[in-house]
A and B are shown apart, each in its own frame.
Chain A
Amino acid sequence: MRDSAPILLVEDDRVDAMTVKRALKDINVCNPVHLVGNGEEALEFLRDDKAPRPGIILLDLNMPRMNGLEFLKVAKQDERLKQIPVVVLTTSREERDRVESFNLSVAGYMIKPVDYLQFVEVMRAINLYWTLSELPG
């Protein structure tokens, strides 16, 4: 993936996290992946000066404590965080989730496929997008 910027994966499900990591490995993306379990932990990580600043955030919506949409509301208010592209990775096909996510300026909204091989394809698309899209410096 783009340079070697780290990827922040916000995901509470261990198998889903494994799926993402495995799929990235399968398409030869070697950027470091930092895993946090919910929105609170994600904000904590992002605001920690010692922690590396991620190049992209892969965000699950349904999480304990602070869910994806709640995280987006806070992050997009934060001058330092709002430029980091966020791609939602979720099982929810609900229109309201999609609408709300885009209202909160997400860069993409991907449904997690049940089939692993399709999941790999989704990760390939995200990689392609992130690699080709021009981003603020």
Chain B
Amino acid sequence: MGLSINRRITTQFALAMLILAAIGVGSYYNTTHLLSTTRWVEHTHEVLERLNSLLHHIAEAESSQRGYLITGNEVFLEPYEASLPAIRRDLEQLGPLTSDNPTQAERLGRLEPLVSARLSLLKELIELRKQSGLQPAIQLLMVDKGKVLMGEIRALILEMEEEERAELYERYDHAEADTRKTLAMNLIGSLLSFALLALVFYLLNMEIARRRRAESALRETTSLQKAILDGGNYTIISTAPDGTIKSFNAAAEQMLGYPGREVVGKTTPALFHDPEEVARRAEELSKELGVRVEPGFEAFVARARQGGPDEKEWTYIRKDGSRFPVLLSITALRDDGGEIKGFLGIGSDITERKRAEETQAELLRELESANRELSDFAYVVSHDLKAPLRAIGSLATWIASDYADKFDEGGKEQMSLLRGRVKRMHDLIDGILQYSRVGRVKEQRVEVDLNALVREAITLLSPPPSVRVTVECSLPTVVCERTRMEQVFQNLLSNALKFMDKPEGEIKIRCEDRGEEWVFCVSDNGPGIEEKHFAKIFQIFQTLAPRDEFESTGIGLSVVKKTVEMYGGSVWVESAPGVGSSFFFTLPKRAFAQSGEPLGI
């Protein structure tokens, strides 16, 4: 754009100059022409004057001769004597004046003999008067030869005068036409160059405005850059390709404690780097890149040199010797040709982050240790609580059999209740272990065909002939922890079986693919649950039926909820008392990313 506008300005300006030059040349030519016309006018006037003077002198000579002829007084001859040389002079001068015009020259050629003849006639009369007196002279005069001659001379001079005048008018006409042409040319040329110059002016103005805008944009950018450089909480240090520090921003000065003038011009790694760290990094990089990296500036830029920014943690040393960790991002600055012109290092103080990371690591360690303690606790519960419980159970059994004859019916019932409670206690402990194991114990994730898994669960629970369990559609294959998924289906199915109160039980298993997730449903036509208990049944140790009627720990559904939620799904129940219950749970497909395609639908 700029280049083209410059070219346009130059072209148009040159054109305007050319036109002005043409006008100049034209005017010069015209003026010269006018000057020569003027000279011609003078020349014509001179010719006319000479012709007049010639005629006048001849007439004077004639009248002087007449005076003498009449009077015989020689005084009258004085003008005659005087006009003779004048006539000669006039004729002489007319020669060169008419040399340019052959017609005039020819006329002059004819005029000269006529004038000579006239003068000879005058002289003859004067001589005659001198020698023979008045009468013979008058007689000669009466012949009237002189008058004829004079008439011819006058006619010829008139002809010459007219010729000169005609020529003059022609010249005038030429000069006028030329002047008009020149004037028109000047006018058009001036208008044209005026237009061109106006255009150039407009273009220049536009260009100036554009440059002014660019300049102000540049000023803005510069001030923005300066604000970025000095305003941020980042150390920004630029170097030449060899590591000579070229700039050192305000934050760097403030954070490192060195004024810019103390470090600019020095070669980095400067005072604020740890030489040991630089050497260590150089060694690491040498191994990583497979080329020898010198423990110096190269340790910082070797990676950035290969393209792209490089980010690494470094230690900065303040002027007072204290240290702080920085995340230093190094970028190679390249010109249009891709050649490295320098490097830019932007560092941010990561002391806080480091501290936070340490705190986090500490918390994580604490959490892990707490988890371990919990795991150990569960293990202890499993073993240490169950051992005495088993002993109680065994002893109760032995007492009942060894001392059977010593117990009455009441004693026997109490012993039976005792063994029943031991069993319940044992189930509770197992339930707690199962619940605590969800999410705590890591298990291998494997591809599980849920169709097979559900079939196995049903077989394991061996439903009575009065209950029909059906899988209504094909279930997907998911990648999951097998035992967990078994627990989910087993718990839901065993609940449905356990509480079944209809002579013809129906338990149905369904699955629906909703794109992002699968929705599973285990429904039954059992007793159903009142809505007010919907939330309660998923809490641990919460049961609705009396424990003496249904042996239930209240853990099963809480394990289902915990497992499903661990996979990112949710679980809920829909139920109407007397009609049945449907337990729904979702499994988001992304939690089973490795292989989530439903099979054979």
Contact = CB atoms under 8 A, between A and B. Distances in A.
Interface of A: 13, 15-16, 18-19, 22, 61-62, 90-95, 112-117, 119
23 contacts: A13-B387, A13-B391, A16-B387, A18-B394, A19-B390, A19-B391, A19-B394, A22-B398, A91-B383, A91-B386, A91-B390, A92-B379, A92-B382, A92-B383, A93-B382, A94-B382, A112-B390, A113-B390, A114-B389, A115-B393, A116-B394, A116-B398, A117-B397
A22 B397 CA distance: 12
Contacts of B441: 95
Interface residues of B, number: 21
Interface in B185-241: none
A116 B415 CA distance: 14
A95 B379 CA distance: 11
Interface string B70-97: 0000000000000000000000000000
Interface in B415-446: 419, 422-423, 426, 430, 433, 441
Contacts of A22: 398
A90 B441 CA distance: 20
Contacts of B419: 115
A16 B426 CA distance: 16
A113 B391 CA distance: 10
A117 B419 CA distance: 12
Nearest to A14: B391
B395 interface: yes
B398 A16 contact: no
A100 to B, nearest CB: 13
Contacts of A112: 390
A6 B389 CA distance: 29
Given A13-B391, A16-B391, A114 B397 contact: no
A61 B383 CA distance: 10
Contacts of A18: 394
A58 to B, nearest CB: 15
A93 B436 CA distance: 13
Contacts of A90: 383
Contacts, number: 52
B438 to A, nearest CB: 14
A114 B390 contact: yes
Interface of B: 379, 382-384, 386-387, 389-391, 393-395, 397-398, 419, 422-423, 426, 430, 433, 441
A76 B386 CA distance: 29
Nearest to A62: B383
Given A16-B387, A93-B433, A94-B379, A116 B423 contact: no
A91 B423 CA distance: 14
A119 B394 contact: yes
5 smallest beta-carbon distances between A and B, as pairs: A15-B391, A116-B397, A114-B426, A91-B386, A116-B394
Contacts of A15: 390-391, 394-395
A13 to B, nearest CB: 6
Nearest to B442: A95
B553 to A, nearest CB: 14
A122 B383 CA distance: 18
B382 A91 contact: yes
A11 to B, nearest CB: 10
Contacts of A115: 393, 397, 419, 423
A92 B387 CA distance: 10
A90 B379 CA distance: 12
A28 to B, nearest CB: 17
A125 B483 CA distance: 26
Given A92-B383, A116-B393, A119-B394, 15 more contacts: A13-B387, A16-B391, A18-B394, A19-B390, A61-B383, A62-B387, A90-B383, A91-B387, A92-B382, A94-B382, A114-B386, A114-B389, A114-B422, A115-B397, A116-B397
A97 to B, nearest CB: 9
A115 B391 CA distance: 9
A102 B13 CA distance: 102
Contacts of A13: 387, 391
Nearest to B400: A116
Contacts of B389: 114
Nearest to B401: A116
- Among A18, A91, A119, the one with the most B-chain Cβ atoms within 10 Å of its Cβ is A91
A89 B71 CA distance: 196
Nearest to A23: B394
Nearest to B391: A15
B434 to A, nearest CB: 9
A7 B514 CA distance: 61
Contacts of A91: 382-383, 386-387, 390
A91 B391 CA distance: 12
A90 B383 CA distance: 8
A90 B389 CA distance: 14
A116 B379 CA distance: 23
A18 B379 CA distance: 24
Nearest to A92: B383
A57 B362 CA distance: 45
B62 to A, nearest CB: 166
Nearest to B386: A91
A42 to B, nearest CB: 19
A114 B423 contact: yes
A19 B391 CA distance: 8
A49 B441 CA distance: 44
Given A93-B433, A114-B426, A116-B397, A16 B390 contact: yes
A25 B422 CA distance: 24
Contacts of B384: 62
Nearest to A120: B397
A61 B379 CA distance: 12
B431 to A, nearest CB: 12
A62 B376 CA distance: 13
A74 B305 CA distance: 59
Nearest to B426: A114
A114 B393 contact: yes
Contacts of A92: 379, 382-383
